[in-house]
Structures are given as structure tokens and as C-alpha cells.
Amino acid sequence: MIPELGHYALVLALFVALVQSGVPLVGAATGNAAWMGVARPAAIAQMLLVLVAYGALTWAHVVSDFSVTNVVANSHSLKPMLYKVSGVWGNHEGSMMLWIVMLTAFGAAVAVFGRNLPPSLKARVIAVQGMIGVGFLLFILATSNPFIRVFPAPLDGNDLNPLLQDPGLAFHPPFLYAGYVGFSIAFSFAVAALIEGRVDPAWARWVRPWTLAAWSTLTAGIALGSWWAYYELGWGGWWYWDPVENASFMPWLAGTALLHSAIVVEKRDALKTWTILLAIITFSLSLMGTFLVRSGILTSVHAFAVDPARGVFILVLLAIATGGSLLLYSVRAPSLKAGGLFAPISREGSLVLNNLLLSTATATVFIGTLYPLFLDVLKLGKVSVGAPFFNATFVPVAIPMVIAMVVGPFLAWKRGDLPGALTRLWSAAVATVVCVAIAAYITNGGGPLLALVGIALAAWAFFGSLAEFAERIRLFRVPVKDSWNRAAHLPRSAWGMTIAHACLGISIAGMTATSAWQSEVIQAMKPGETAIVGSYSVSFDSIGEVQGQNFRAEQGVFTVTRNGAHIATLTPQRRSYPVTRMTTTEAAIHTTWLSDVYVALGDPTQNGTAWTVRLYHHPMVPWIWLGALGMMMGGLVSLSDRRFRVGAPERRRAASKPAMQPAE
Amino acid sequence: MKALLLAAFLALTPIAAQAVQPDEVLPDPALEGRAREISKDLRCLVCQNQSIDDSNAPLARDLRVLVRERLTAGDSNDQVVHYVTDRYGDYVLLRPPFKATTLFLWIGPFVILAIGAIGTALYLRGRKGAAVAAGGDTAPLTEDERRRLDALLRKEDA
Amino acid sequence: MRRLIFLLPLLLFVGVGVAFFLGFERDPRDIPSALIDKPVPDFALPALAGHKEGLSSPMLKGDVTLVNVFASWCIPCKAEHPVITRLSKELGVTVRGINYKDKTEDAVDWLRRNGDPYASVGADLDGRVSIDWGVYGVPETYLVDRQGRIRFKQVGPLTPQVVEEQLLPMIKHLRAAS
């Protein structure tokens, strides 16, 4: 009964979406206020209907209703409740439901919170959202219906892939999808602006909060995925340049560029056509990611079950959405009026440089990911493009980008003073040199040159961001109380920028350190033996069997000591899930927040008397995800800036001193 | 220089192997190091996007053992890699070779950067030119003038 | 001119879209052989128990031969076995086998149960010879011409369609050539 309700709700949502796509659009073109007014209730209704459908599907999973095919294929009565709930999005059909939940939620949010938007723009934005909704609802109902029943209902299900039964993976998709799908708003705004034929600073200010929200959640989503891979896959890798990882990274790169170029539109009314293009491209990359993961044309460890029929449908969606918007762009963009002028060395100039480098990075990842396909289609042979390629081409672009990221905020709008800016960064430069020296000293020579470059970059990003903040509050140049006052009155977006940029430095430090200075020991150990990894001593105490809710595991007990002092007792497991007949490794990690000691239990060897044990020391690896978390917080802090909630740009009040740099 | 770059690229590759078994490890650490480096660049053909260093598939293990045998027999790194590509083709290389068909792959990013940079420069110059052509003084306001303008505008608001 | 620049993103997208569409017909896991038109690798495999002859490179000269890599633990091998048998018994093609990483008793048993169409079978216990052939899974099948050169490779089970459309014409052509 309830799955049927969910099914009906989904179909109703489709009809609402159809109305939402057409009526407000016609209303905006004809100036009919009533028709434009349909947008708000339609968007809210669509979201509610989709939530009902999603709720129905979740209910079916939670009560283990095995008459629903989706539940049979992906669940089991013994599966822990957390995974019954999160398993809803752990398969193709359910994840598409999550997609549409996010899409309609964002659409409804614009309807409810976009009170200050001009009616015609609002109507058009919501209409475009509706069109995307129509596409995906059709896709779900036609090819990926989660409510299909099976008769007779089997006694139990096939269980969820054990790799997905993990807290990290429980939270990774919602954040990821909120990010991916959140960029649809920027897309809708861009298309609406093209239809209107007008892009002004107000548009940029309206777009920014949605883009920030999407960017922040995508950052968290990618970081969660990386962290999960690190502790689950058994050897401490955190990024593989796998096509599906790249599919999430490309929208992130483009979204970062969008975030920054929108600032120029808002402050200086320039770079309009470029920003519109970026908004279209960012969401198109999200769509392309959805396509790549589900179509089977690329090999990936992440790929969902392959079904060419679904692939064709998404390709058609992609063609209509991206092709249509780019066509509109080619027709309308030339007539958008150009905006303010600026010198190459200026705040705008540095943001242009940021965009140039980020776009190149996006294009690089794009080329590398799709090259095997392009070559194969042209029948020019088969090549593999793996991590070595991306490391060689991405890093050279990232280095100048991070350097410029620190200098840019010091430059004034319209015409900046580069020597002056660099002079004010002397403290950051000194700190960078000190950090590199410390790193080289600790590691006795520092290892590869690129590792020290990485540390330099991280320090530059971190201390440079702090230097800029100190400059803004005139630290050490006015009494501390005044600096404190300035800091308290700085707009939140300034805080957000400083936090995000500084935390990027923290992440870079983590990435560099763990890549360059990791220690690894792989050996067969018998209970009672001890191994040394890094400066830690790990002794294998015992091994036994434990029983979990839906698995059996071999569990080893290891004691970690350092210079004789007890650090931790670790219990890595090798789990067997009887229903899916799969085994997973659950590594045991002790984190000091400065580094990780990582122990993974392998196969028994030497006729069962010994076990292959992998021991790792990962220096500064937690900083990767702490930095990413910080970047997300920075984004959210910026998002909470009051100016965004008010909506329209406010005239600057007399409180702001003219001598101060324009706040972000 | 090439060795430095190679070392640099490899340094940034996540150094990890779930798969190397203790009985495969060569006694000579230098040879073992080379074996690991080579393995990281060889694709596991029966996996979805893993190197033979990372994969615990039987074929990956066979190839890992093969790489170590060739190294112990005295082959150079290049010779070992050629041994494998002679049998499996270029697809087995995770670092795509630099050939005519992969030219765009390797050069593409830098070409795009160059095109972008040139485009940006032209855009900036064109805009300045257009402003001059439109007549009028395009020199930006000085700090002082801007302050006065701000003050005037604010007075208008009040 | 300016308008053309704005058209560029759309044109690039159309190119990408076409590539995606064509991509549906390509299997990303299918790797072409690096040994096509090259001589078979130098090798000698002992005979599988119960067979007079094993398999070695000299044996593959003089006649057009189909070399089939199989194993008892491989399920698709069982599926393609009738096709191989038909080629050998009805169509008179010389078929020789490489038994890949198998236990002797299991392989002998498997052949007894499913039929033995092979003129000879070489036992590749550790899979090293197969690596020389560029084998990365089972089953795989190679067509070798009179001069001992590899002319065709099938990855995965042989289907009647591949046999009709590609293999038989090629065998006919190679036999006609001296």
C-alpha cells in the first residue's frame, strides 16, 4: 500500500513539474502575475510529493518489505538499521530518488527564500528547475522505478554490498548529491538570466548563496568519500583519479571558479558572459558525472550496475539540458552588455587568473578522464590514463593557483598595487621558509623536491590568508581593541574567505606529507611477534573470532607503543558477510590528529600459523579531511552573511570607512 | 632532470599497496623499490582501474612476480615495462605513452592554458581599447576622488 | 566573429555528446591483442595428463590452428565448449588447448565430462606461458596461420556469430594462402 502511495506521489510530482515548467515561463513572458505566481506553490508541492515518495521507499526498506524489488535487491532483514535507512540511496534507483529530493528541495528553497527576487526572474528560475525535474522524474518512472513489486515476495533480500555498510558511506551520498544537484540552481539562474536578456550585479548576489551552499556540501561530500576510501579499502589511499572521483571533482573545480567569478559580476559588473557560461558548465558537469557513473562507457570501481538503456536516457537529458542551454547562450550572450573596466593587476585580474587556472584544471581532468573513450571511439586504439597523468598535469596548474590565491585579496579593485601587496606578505613568506626548513630538518633532507614545494604552498596558503586577515583588522598597527572591533564587524564573507583559504593550506599540507613521507611495512606475523613502522612498535598479541549483526570476523589484537609508552590497542578485522559472500577489511586506525597509525589484517599464511599484516604510518593525513571540513565551514560562514539573506545589494552605510578595502 | 621529474610524479602518487604479499618482496630493497614503482604504473587488466600494486587479483600477483623476476635478471626499468607492453599493448600503462595518438592528451592541458591566457589578454586589451574608442577619460578615479564620489552618493541617499 | 566564439561551447559539447553516444557500442574492457600479425611466442608446455602431446611453438607451424585457452574453474569456458567442439569435430579445424592455471585432476575430469576436442593440450600450471601470449582472462582463443603468426584473438567465449562472421572466413583465407 505505502509503496503504491509513493509511486502515485512520484507520478503526481511529474505532473506538477510539467506545470511548474510551463506556466511561470509563459507568465514571465507575458507579464501575467498570476501565472508567475504558480511557480512558488508548484515548487513546494513538487518537493512535498517527492518527499512522500522518498519516505515511502525508506519505509519499505526499514520494515524490510521484500515485495518491493528494490528492497529485495539491496537489503536484508539482519542488516543494521542505519544501513537500512542509508541503503535506500546505496543503489541506482534509490540514489536517483535522492537526486530528485535534492533537486526539488533546492527549487522549493528558492521559492520560499527568494522573496526579494524580481517576480519574472524568480518565475523563470523555478520554471527551469521544473524542467530539470521533469527530465529526471521521467527517467525514474521510465527506467529506474524503485516501486516495482515482485510476486511472490522472497523470504529475505540479497543484502547490501558490505563495502557500503559503513557510517562514512552512509553520509557521503547526501552531501555529494546536495552539492551536485545544488549547482542546478546556478544553472537555472543562468538560463533564466539568458531568457531575460539581463545580467546585473543583483543577479550575482542572488546566485552566490546557492552556489556557496552547493559548493560547501560538495566539498564535504568529496572529503567524506576520500576519508571512507582511506579507512575502508585497507591501504590508506585517499584519491585515485578514478573516473567517478573525477566526475565529482570537475563540478567542484568549475564550481569554485563560478564562486569567484560571480564576485566580479557582483562587485564590478564584469565577466558576465563568462560567469553565465560557468554556471551552465558546472551543472552540466554534474549531469555528465551522473551519466558516466551509470552508463557503463567507462570502467570504474564506483560504477553502478551497467544498463545502456539508462545511459541513453541520461545522454538525451544531458543533450537537452546542456545542449539547449548552450544554444541559448550562443544566441543571447553576445547581446549582454559588458561591464566595468579593470587593469590586469587588480582584484578582478587576480580573479580572472583564478578562473583561468581553475578552468584549465577542469579541462585537464576532463581530457584525462574521457581520453580513453575518445580514442576508442575514433578507433585509434586503447590507452589507459591513470594517476601518473593527472599528477603530472594537475599539479603544475595548482601551484600558481595557490600562490595567486594568497596575493589576490591584497589587490584593490580596478587597479592594484602588486609590489605593495607582496610587501605586505613578508610575514607569510618568512613563515613559509621556516616551515620548509622545519620539514626538511625533520625528514632529514625532505625527500623529493616536490614534497617541499607542497609544504611551501601549504604554509603560504595558511599564513598568507592569516596575513590578509591581519591586514584587514590592522593588527599591530592600531590598538588591539580596535583590531578586535574591526574583526567583529567584518562581514561574514570575509571571515569565510579567510577560513576557507587557510584550510586549503591545511589540506595541502596533509596531502603532501602523507604522499611523501609515509611508512609502510608488510610482513607475515605470528601472534607474539613485533614489527616497527615509523617510530612506532606494533606487536601482534592475539587473534580470534567475533560475531557481528550480519557478519563473522577474524579479529586481531595489536598493541602500539612508542619508546616503550603504550599508545593504543588496535583491533583490525577481516569480515565475512554470508549473504553476499563477500569479505571486507576493517583496518584499525589510531589517530593523533597529527598522523595516523594504521593496521590492516590480511590473509592467513604459512598454513594458518601467521597472518599477512600491513602496518602504515601516515603523517598528517587527518589534516586532509580537517582542512576540507574547514573549507566547508568557511563556505557556510560566508553563506550566513546577512547581505545574502536580505537579497538585494544594500547601499553601503556611513559606518564603513572609505579608506578600508571593500569588504567581501 | 627526467629522473627528478619522475621521482616527483611518483612522490605524489599515493604510495600504497594492499596487495603485495610478504613472499613477493625482494630481498634487495633497491630492486624492491624499483619493482614497486614499476608496478604502480602498470594496470591490473582484470580490475576496474587499479594498478597491479594495488590489486589482489591473481593476474596482478602474477605480473608483480614477473616484474620482480625481470628486475632480478638484470633488466632496466624500461626493459621491464617493454616486456609487459610487448605482450599486452599500451593499455597496460597507467601513465599513457607519449605518441602521436596521445599528443593531445599530454599537450592539451598546456595548450588550453595558453589559449586561455591569450584569450584573456586579448579580452583585457580589447576592453580597454573599446573604452578609449568610446571616448572619454578612462583613467580610474584616484582614492581621493573615489572618496568624494562615495560621500556625494551617500548624501544623495540620505 | 564574436558570435562564433559564443558558439564554441555548444560545438564542443556536440562533439563530446557524439563521442558518448558512440561509446555505447564500445566495450571499455575489451583490449586488442598486441600480438596480432606477430609470431607466436617461443614456448613449450608439457602435455596434460592423458594426452600424447603438449603444446610448443614449432607445433603451430604448417597448419592453420586455433589455440584455445581454457580452465576447468572457468564457467564461460564451459559455455563456449560446444562451439569449440563443433569447430574441431564438424568443421575440421585443428584446435589445440592451453590449460590455464588448473589442477591436473580437475582438468582431466572436465574434459572427460564435457568432451575433448583438442588435438593436444599443454598444461600451463603457473600461467607464465599464457602471459607471453598476452592472456588476461579465460577463455581466450587465438587463430594462428601456417607460418606460426597470430592473426586473430577472441577475448571471452567464442560465439556462433563470431565463428560464422569472422573466424571461418579467416580460416578459409589463411588455408588458401600458402
Residues A602 and A612 in one domain: yes
Q: What are chain C's domains?
A: 35-176 (3.40.30.10)
pLDDT 10s digits, B32-54: 989 999 998 999 888 877 889 88
What is the mean pLDDT of the segment spanning A94-111?
94
Residues A182 and A314 in one domain: yes
pLDDT 10s digits, A281-304: 999 999 999 888 888 777 665 555
Q: How, if at all, do strands C94-100 and C65-70 pair?
A: parallel
Query: B132-136, C32-36, C46-50, C117-121: which range is least confident on average?
Result: B132-136
Nearest to C78 by CA among C106, C110, C108: C110
Q: What is the CATH number of domain B2-92?
A: 1.10.8.640
pLDDT 10s digits, A148-176: 988 888 888 887 777 778 888 788 999 99
For chain A, what percent of residues have pLDDT higher than 70? 95
Residue of C nearest to A292 (CA): C20
Chain C environment of A330 (Cβ under 8 Å):
3, 6-7, 9-10
pLDDT 10s digits, A294-343: 887 776 655 555 677 888 899 999 999 999 999 999 999 888 877 778 88
Residue B18 has pLDDT above 70, yes or no: no
Does A255 map to a domain?
yes
Higher pLDDT, C30 or C121: C121
- For residue A659, the model assigns a pLDDT of 43
pLDDT 10s digits, A588-624: 999 988 999 999 988 888 788 888 899 999 999 999 9
Higher pLDDT, A452 or C31: A452
What gap in Å lies between CA A321 and CA A326, rounded to an integer? 8
Q: SS3 for chain B, per residue?
A: CHHHHHHHHHHHCCCCCCCCCHHHCCCCHHHHHHHHHHHHCEECCCCCCCECCCCCCHHHHHHHHHHHHHHHCCCCHHHHHHHHHHHHCHHHECCCCCCCCCHHHHHHHHHHHHHHHHHHHHHHHHHHHHHHHCCCCCCCCCHHHHHHHHHHHHHHHC
- For residue B5, the model assigns a pLDDT of 34
Residue A76 has pLDDT above 50, yes or no: yes
Of A333, A368, A392, the one marking the end of a domain is: A392
What is the mean pLDDT of the segment spanning A28-42?
92
Query: A235-239, A493-497, B144-148: which range is least confident on average?
Result: B144-148
What is the mean pLDDT of the segment spanning A569-586?
86
What gap in Å lies between CA C25 and CA A378, rounded to an integer? 12
Q: Tally Cβ neighbours within 10 Å of residue C37.
A: 10
Q: How confident is residue B58, by pLDDT bands cut at 50, 70 and 90?
A: confident
Does A259 map to a domain?
yes
What gap in Å lies between CA C154 and CA C68, rounded to an integer? 9
Asked if C131 and B63 touch (Cβ cutoff 8 Å), the reply is: yes
Q: Tally Cβ neighbours within 10 Å of residue A250.
A: 24
Bridge partners, C39 (sequence order):
C149
Chain C environment of A315 (Cβ under 8 Å):
17, 20-21
B134: cell is: 568610446
Asked if C48 and B105 touch (Cβ cutoff 8 Å), the reply is: no
Q: How confident is residue C178, by pLDDT bands cut at 50, 70 and 90?
A: low
- Give me the residue from A330, A373, A374 closest to C7, CB to CB: A330
Residues A413 and A350 in one domain: no
What gap in Å lies between CA A510 and CA A620, rounded to an integer? 5
- Give me the residue from A299, A374, A381 closest to C28, CB to CB: A299
* C167 contacts: CB under 8 Å, gap ≥ 6: C66, C87, C143, C152, C154, C158
Three-class SS of residue C153?
Answer: strand
What gap in Å lies between CA C75 and CA A136, rounded to an integer? 39
Of A130, A160, A190, the one marking the end of a domain is: A160
Q: How many helices (H) and strands (E) does chain C have?
A: 6, 7
Q: How confident is residue B9, by pLDDT bands cut at 50, 70 and 90?
A: very low
* Interchain CB contact of C16 with B (< 8 Å): no
- For residue A617, the model assigns a pLDDT of 93
Q: What is the mean pLDDT of chain A?
A: 89
Find the domain containing A7 and state its range.
1-160
- For residue C151, the model assigns a pLDDT of 93
Higher pLDDT, C123 or A341: C123
Shortest CA gap C140–chain B (Å): 14
| Cβ distance of A377 and C23 shorter than 8 Å | yes
- For residue A215, the model assigns a pLDDT of 96
Chain C environment of B88 (Cβ under 8 Å):
31, 34, 134, 136
Residues A334 and A357 in one domain: yes
Q: Tally Cβ neighbours within 10 Å of residue A159.
A: 24
**A608 in the Ramachandran plot: left (φ > 0), alpha (ψ -120 to 50) or beta?**
left
In degrees and rounded to multiples of 5, residue C47 shows phi and psi of: -70, 145
Long-range pairs, B80-85, Cβ under 8 A, ≥24: B80/B38, B81/B38, B81/B41, B81/B42, B84/B42, B85/C34
Long-range pairs, A527-531, Cβ under 8 A, ≥24: A531/A613, A531/A615
Using the CB atoms, write b or e for A414-434: b if 16+ within 10 Å: bbbeeeebeebbeebbebbee
For chain B, what percent of residues have pLDDT higher than 70? 73
Helix (H), strand (E) at residue C105: helix C104-114
B3: cell is: 629522473
ipTM of the predicted structure? 0.85
What gap in Å lies between CA A573 and CA A232, rounded to an integer? 11
Nearest to A533 by CA among A561, A566, A565: A561
Q: Angle at which helices A39-62 and A92-113 pack, to 10 degrees? A: 150
A416: cell is: 592594484
Give the best residue of C20, C31, C136 to mutate against chain A (max A CB count within 10 A): C20
A317: cell is: 537529458
- For residue C41, the model assigns a pLDDT of 92
Residue A27 has pLDDT above 80, yes or no: yes
Q: How confident is residue A344, by pLDDT bands cut at 50, 70 and 90?
A: confident
- Give me the residue from B46, B63, B87 closest to C34, CB to CB: B87
Q: What is the mean pLDDT of chain B?
A: 77
**Domain locations in chain B?**
2-92, 103-157
What are the CA-CA distances from residue A408 to residues A347, A351, A455 (Å)? 6, 7, 20
What gap in Å lies between CA A40 and CA A117, rounded to an integer? 12
Asked if A381 and A375 touch (Cβ cutoff 8 Å), the reply is: yes
- For residue A141, the model assigns a pLDDT of 94
Q: How confident is residue C91, by pLDDT bands cut at 50, 70 and 90?
A: confident
Q: What is the mean pLDDT of chain C?
A: 90
- For residue A446, the model assigns a pLDDT of 59
- For residue B3, the model assigns a pLDDT of 37
A446: cell is: 625532505
- For residue A306, the model assigns a pLDDT of 64
What gap in Å lies between CA A119 and CA A114, rounded to an integer? 10
Q: Which residue has the cell 528541495?
A: A105
Considering only CB atoms, which residues of chain C are within 8 Å of chain A? Answer: 2-3, 6-7, 9-10, 13-14, 16-17, 19-24, 26, 28-29, 31-32
Looking at the 3D structure of chain A, how many domains does it have? 4
Nearest to A217 by CA among A183, A169, A240: A183
Query: Does the CA dihedral A280-A282-A285-A287 come out positive or negative?
Result: negative
What gap in Å lies between CA A551 and CA A579, rounded to an integer? 9
Residue A663 has pLDDT above 60, yes or no: no
pLDDT 10s digits, C31-80: 888 899 999 999 999 999 888 889 999 999 988 999 999 999 999 999 99
Chain C environment of B91 (Cβ under 8 Å):
31
- For residue A229, the model assigns a pLDDT of 86
| Cβ distance of C136 and B58 shorter than 8 Å | no
What gap in Å lies between CA A355 and CA A270, rounded to an integer? 13
What's the full length of chain B, in residues? 158
- For residue A382, the model assigns a pLDDT of 86
| Cβ distance of B85 and C34 shorter than 8 Å | yes
* B31 contacts: CB under 8 Å, gap ≥ 6: B68, B71, B72
* Interchain CB contact of C132 with B (< 8 Å): yes
Higher pLDDT, A134 or C33: A134
- For residue A398, the model assigns a pLDDT of 94
Residues A344 and A437 in one domain: no
Distance, CA of C39 to chain centre: 15
Residue B12 has pLDDT above 70, yes or no: no
| Cβ distance of B8 and A448 shorter than 8 Å | yes
| Cβ distance of A515 and B92 shorter than 8 Å | no
How many A×C Cβ pairs under 8 Å?
68
Does A660 map to a domain?
no
- DSSP-derived secondary structure for A9-66: HHHHHHHHHHHHHHHHHHHHHHT-HHHHHTHHHHHHHHHHHHHHHHHHHHHHHHTT-T
Q: Is the peptide bond before A372 cis (omega within 30 degrees of 0)?
A: no
